[in-house]
């Protein structure tokens, strides 16, 4: 297995897993995405991404998923273990004049992810 890969055991795959993270209602949002977090009983960190078909075409949705998975992978050391994380990209992205999905970079997604992660950790500590 690759050292820096993203194995299937580290992914949220089932609809029930997505629903459980959403129902926990611990989230932070900005103009680009919403990050949900939920403590889990496993000692593994799991990650999932959801992009509505209203947000972008299939090519754009897949690009957003790749960028967010890479942002998660690169920041694995900053992410607390024993949590499930879910990113949902805002459908308003498609209507935003200031944000072109095809011009989003890894730096943009990574910065947004880290910002939301910090907000969630502050809520957990309080």
Q: What is the pLDDT of residues 64-107, one digit of tens each?
A: 999 999 999 898 888 888 899 999 987 776 666 556 777 788 99
109: exposed, middle or buried (C-beta count within 10 Å: 0-12, 13-18, 19+)?
A: buried
Question: What Cα–Cα distance (Å) separates residue 126 from each residue in 103, 113, 120?
Answer: 36, 20, 10
The answer to whether the CB of 94 falls within 8 A of the CB of 104 is: no
Task: Encode pLDDT of 52-63 as tens digits.
Answer: 888 888 888 898
Structural domains in the chain? 9-125 (3.30.230.10)
Q: How confident is the model at residue 1 (pLDDT cuts 50, 70, 90)?
A: very low
């Amino acid at each position: 297995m690759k050292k820096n890969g993203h194995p299937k055991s580290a992914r949220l795959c089932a609809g029930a897993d997505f629903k459980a993270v959403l129902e926990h209602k611990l989230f932070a949002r900005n103009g680009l995405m919403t990050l949900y977090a939920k403590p889990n009983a496993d000692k593994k960190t799991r990650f999932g991404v959801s992009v509505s078909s209203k947000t972008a075409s299939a090519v754009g949705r897949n690009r957003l998923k790749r960028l967010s998975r890479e942002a998660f992978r690169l920041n694995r050391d900053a992410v607390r273990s024993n949590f499930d994380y879910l990113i949902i990209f805002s459908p308003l992205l498609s209507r935003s004049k200031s944000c072109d999905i095809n011009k989003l970079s890894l730096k943009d997604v990574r910065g947004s992810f880290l910002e939301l992660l910090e907000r969630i950790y502050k809520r957990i500590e309080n």
